[in-house]
A and B are shown apart, each in its own frame.
Chain A
Amino acid sequence: EPEVTQTPSHQVTQMGQEVILRCVPISNHLYFYWYRQILGQKVEFLVSFYNNEISEKSEIFDDQFSVERPDGSNFTLKIRSTKLEDSAMYFCASSEGGSVGWGELFFGEGSRLTVL
């Protein structure tokens, strides 16, 4: 069964450093997303990406964050100058087409980011 894969599964970084979280969405999917979940809290939307550009972003997704699809398979989330409060599980997701309401999102297993 096709799946969304994420690397690394866990990253520990020092405050102020830059991190890149990587995702390989399902191959025929067109819509890509990043969500995050701070420990014990809700899953929160960060950004959606379609046709090589951001289609929607939340207020959390400020200039500290960026996304890129550098080739035909990878989808990355870059977090610059990390802060303690960026510590969370970051989930990549993809969907086949249309708005998210037309079908399911396939989530990866997440990348746990710990900022010290």
Chain B
Amino acid sequence: SQKIEQNSEALNIQEGKTATLTCNYTNYSPAYLQWYRQDPGRGPVFLLLIRENEKEKRKERLKVTFDTTLKQSLFHITASQPADSATYLCALVASYNTDKLIFGTGTRLQVFP
């Protein structure tokens, strides 16, 4: 069956460290993968998009990698801050013929001072 999985356990890290979140998928060959941030009771906010032919994308303190062999995307936040505490969602677009985003369950990140 098709699955997109993120660590359900919260990730707790100290301020200033690098947070690494994992997104694994099964039985998809996604055209694109996106990462969103979601704060409690609020809508997702877009962070980064990476295409199937791209290995890595960066934006300020954020970096995303995409390994189509491992069927995995990693999302990194360097020099993390308490304000980065939120749930991070990965979402894939299954093919070039669809508008549908398929979301993972998200990983809650807690950055403590």
Q: Which of A12-20, A62-70, A73-81, A105-113 forms contacts with chain B?
A: A105-113
The chain A residue with its CB closest to the CB of B46 is A104
Complex-state Cα separation, A42 to B32, whole angstroms: 19
CB atoms of B100 and A105 under 8 A apart: no
B47 to chain A, nearest CB (A): 9
Total interface residues in chain A, CB < 8 Å: 28
The chain A residue with its CB closest to the CB of B103 is A43
CB atoms of B42 and A101 under 8 A apart: no
Question: Which residues of chain B are near A56, meaning CB under 8 Å?
Answer: 98-100
B75 to chain A, nearest CB (A): 15
Residue in A41, A50, A100, A108 whose beta carbon sits within 8 Å of that of B101 in the complex: A100
CB atoms of A110 and B49 under 8 A apart: no
Question: Which residues of chain A are near B102, meaning CB under 8 Å?
Answer: 45
CB atoms of B103 and A42 under 8 A apart: yes
CB atoms of B104 and A101 under 8 A apart: no
CB atoms of B100 and A58 under 8 A apart: yes
The chain A residue with its CB closest to the CB of B38 is A43
B77 to chain A, nearest CB (A): 18
Question: How big is chain B's contact interface, by range?
Answer: 20 to 34
Please judge, given known A-B contacts A31-B99, A41-B105, A42-B103, whether A100 and B93 are in contact too, CB under 8 Å: yes
Q: A99 at interface (Cβ–Cβ under 8 A)?
A: yes
The chain B residue with its CB closest to the CB of A58 is B100
Question: Which residues of chain B are near A31, meaning CB under 8 Å?
Answer: 99
Question: Which residues of chain A are near B32, meaning CB under 8 Å?
Answer: 100-101
A80 to chain B, nearest CB (A): 23
Q: B23 at interface (Cβ–Cβ under 8 A)?
A: no
Q: Which residues of chain A (80-95) have a CB below 8 Å from chain B? A: 89, 91, 93
The contact string, 1 if C-beta is below 8 Å from chain A, for chain B 91-113, is: 10100101111111110000000
Instruction: Provide 21 A-B residue pairs closer than 8 Å at the C-beta atoms, listed in order of the A residue.
Output: A33-B99, A42-B103, A42-B105, A42-B106, A43-B44, A45-B100, A45-B101, A48-B99, A55-B99, A56-B100, A58-B100, A100-B100, A100-B101, A101-B31, A101-B32, A101-B49, A104-B49, A105-B34, A105-B44, A107-B44, A110-B43
Apart from the given pairs A43-B103, A100-B100, 4 other A-B contacts in the complex at a CB distance below 8 Å: A4-B43, A41-B105, A43-B89, A105-B46
